[in-house]
């Protein structure tokens, strides 16, 4: 029987919720491209529950224990003395999240001789050293598309929050003021602006579809060009380089996976090519941007604002400059873990585990690495290599 080691974020500070704001979430059968939502044989949770925190356990405990497996759930994931590090030595399956990643470095993989499956509850498996996984012949899988629309909605929200100067205006209300001039001195209309996405996969193309009614100019760059009819439907202009895109856009949103080719893509040089006063939105991965270069661009005015919910490492140390730089709209990594999204990625995690333990093939679109090579979604969107370097700095969040 297998040990399944699951790393999830902490419960709310006031405890696991006894009730919720709504009685349920809408049920979705298919995504925009026709892919079906997860189809496990059964569920042991009610959609709309908080499943992504420690007490939620992704709704997996009864399923796994009824089959004789052991489930260990923890939020203690960083440093050599963490529970994750201790329990990893004999784990066969590791489940982690992009929001609270258990970084599976080459060193940790080497300490886990029984490890066979690294499963991401959500999308984005860059917290796994993919090169080490390939070399070891591990399977790496994620619940592709489960929270893509959740992230796309978050992108649109953050664009509007920055461009319309929403957060400082809200703060004036909290502070008891009525300072209209202060609120509008950095507020603009999105209408008529040029908006571009770096990568137009499931999230990037969903962002474009949602922004089209705002009567903006739409742009994108991607290693895979969209079909001509989709470009025409969206009215989107293709750019064959990131440089070409950022030079013409007032708003740039990053929706690419993190791998060696995208790591530190938005560095001092690329930020300097953007329009002065442009806005940069990053709900992809924090390491795609040079942390200090972004902070300097916000301080100098090269960027009018930066928003996102992805950091590196995660959780970010308390002295991370994105917490204190001016004109930012940062949140913890929450875009893809709404209660609606959790119902899908928890169901997808169970579907993958059912396939794994029953000896059935895991859906091709869920695979990142399989049989020693990039596969499925991984072959489409990732490059081999390692993007986990420096992740040990996450321990500084708890250290204070």
Confidence band for 400, pLDDT divided at 50, 70 and 90: low
* 264 burial type by CB count under 10 A (0-12 exposed, 13-18 middle, 19+ buried): middle
pLDDT of residue 397: 82
- What is the per-residue pLDDT across 95-151, written as a single tens digit (0 to 9) for each? 999 999 999 999 999 999 999 999 999 999 999 999 999 999 999 999 999 999 999
CATH topology of domain 148-330: Rossmann fold (3.40.50)
CATH topology of domain 3-146+337-376+385-399: Rossmann fold (3.40.50)
- Distance CA(286)–CA(284), nearest Å, equals 7
- Distances from the Cα of 26 to the Cα of 29, 48, 50, 338, 340, angstroms: 10, 9, 15, 13, 8
Confidence band for 392, pLDDT divided at 50, 70 and 90: confident
* Residue 32, SS3 per DSSP: coil
Rg (CA), the chain: 21
Chain-centre distance of CA 299, in angstroms? 26
E strands, 107-180, where?
Answer: 117-120, 139-142
DSSP letter at 389 equals: T
Q: Which residues are catalytic?
A: 147, 285, 314, 333
Percent of the chain whose predicted confidence (pLDDT) is above 90: 96
Backbone conformation region of residue 383, classed left if phi is above 0, alpha if psi is from -120 to 50, else beta:
beta
pLDDT of residue 365: 96
- Distance CA(283)–CA(307), nearest Å, equals 8
Q: 107 is written with which tokens?
A: 């060193």
- What is the per-residue pLDDT across 57-87, written as a single tens digit (0 to 9) for each? 999 999 999 999 999 999 999 999 999 999 9
Domain regions of the chain by residue span: 3-146+337-376+385-399, 148-330
Confidence band for 294, pLDDT divided at 50, 70 and 90: very high
- Distance CA(200)–CA(214), nearest Å, equals 18
- Distances from the Cα of 184 to the Cα of 158, 165, 166, 203, angstroms: 17, 7, 9, 30
Strand ranges across the sheet with 367-370: 70-74, 3-7, 93-96, 117-120, 139-142, 367-370, 373-374
- What is the per-residue pLDDT across 251-265, written as a single tens digit (0 to 9) for each? 999 999 999 999 999
Strands 194-198 and 217-221: parallel
Average pLDDT for residues 25-50, to the nearest whole number? 96
Residue 348 pLDDT > 70: yes
DSSP letters, 154-210, are HHHHHHHHHHTTHHHHHHHHHTT---HHHHHTT----TT-EEEEE--SHHHHHHHHH
pLDDT of residue 326: 98
Fold match between domain 3-146+337-376+385-399 and domain 148-330: yes
Mean pLDDT score across all residues of the chain: 96
Asked if residues 333 and 73 have their Cβ atoms less than 8 Å apart, the reply is: no
Backbone conformation region of residue 348, classed left if phi is above 0, alpha if psi is from -120 to 50, else beta:
alpha
- Distance CA(77)–CA(100), nearest Å, equals 9
The values of phi and psi at residue 204, to 5°, are -60, -45
Confidence band for 395, pLDDT divided at 50, 70 and 90: confident
pLDDT of residue 390: 85
The values of phi and psi at residue 355, to 5°, are -65, -45
* Cα angle: 31, vertex 215, 241; to 5 degrees: 70
Residue 399 pLDDT > 80: no
DSSP letter at 319 equals: T
pTM above 0.85, yes or no: yes
Q: 248 is written with which tokens?
A: 């013409």
Average pLDDT for residues 334-351, to the nearest whole number? 98
């Amino acid at each position: 029987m297998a040990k399944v080691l699951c790393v999830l974020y902490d419960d709310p500070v006031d405890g696991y919720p006894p009730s919720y704001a709504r009685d349920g979430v809408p049920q979705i059968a298919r995504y925009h491209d026709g892919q079906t939502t997860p189809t496990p044989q059964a569920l042991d949770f009610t959609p709309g529950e908080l499943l992504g925190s420690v007490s939620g356990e992704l709704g997996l405990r009864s399923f796994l224990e009824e089959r004789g497996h052991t489930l260990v759930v923890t939020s203690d994931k960083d440093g050599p003395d963490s529970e994750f590090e201790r329990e990893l030595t004999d784990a066969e399956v590791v489940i982690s999240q992009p929001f609270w990643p258990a970084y599976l470095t080459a060193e940790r993989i080497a300490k886990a001789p029984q490890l066979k499956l690294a499963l991401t509850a959500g999308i984005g498996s860059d917290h796994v050293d993919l090169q080490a996984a390939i070399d070891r012949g591990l399977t790496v899988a994620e619940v592709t598309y489960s929270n893509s629309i959740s992230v796309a909605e978050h992108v649109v929200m953050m664009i509007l929050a920055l461009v319309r100067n929403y957060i400082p205006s809200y703060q004036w209300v909290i502070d008891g003021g009525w300072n209209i001039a202060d609120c509008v001195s950095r507020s603009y209309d999105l209408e008529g602006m040029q908006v571009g996405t770096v990568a137009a996969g499931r999230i990037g193309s969903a962002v474009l579809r949602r922004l089209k009614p705002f009567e903006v100019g739409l742009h994108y760059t991607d290693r895979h060009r969209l079909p001509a009819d989709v470009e025409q439907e969206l009215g989107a202009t293709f750019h064959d380089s990131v440089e070409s895109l950022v030079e013409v856009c007032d708003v740039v949103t990053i929706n690419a996976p993190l791998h060696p080719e995208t790591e530190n893509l938005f560095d001092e040089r690329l930020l300097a090519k953007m329009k002065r006063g442009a806005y940069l939105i990053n709900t992809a991965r924090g390491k795609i941007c040079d942390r200090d270069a972004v902070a300097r661009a916000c301080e100098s005015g090269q960027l009018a604002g930066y928003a996102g919910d992805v950091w590196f490492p995660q959780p970010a140390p308390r002295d991370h400059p994105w917490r204190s730089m001016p004109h930012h709209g940062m949140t913890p990594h929450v875009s893809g873990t709404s209660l609606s999204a959790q119902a899908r990625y928890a169901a997808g995690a169970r579907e993958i585990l059912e396939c794994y333990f029953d000896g059935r093939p895991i859906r091709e679109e869920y695979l990142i690495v399989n049989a020693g090579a990039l596969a499925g979604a991984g072959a489409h969107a990732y490059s081999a290599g390692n993007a986990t370097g420096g992740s040990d700095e996450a321990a500084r969040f708890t250290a204070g």
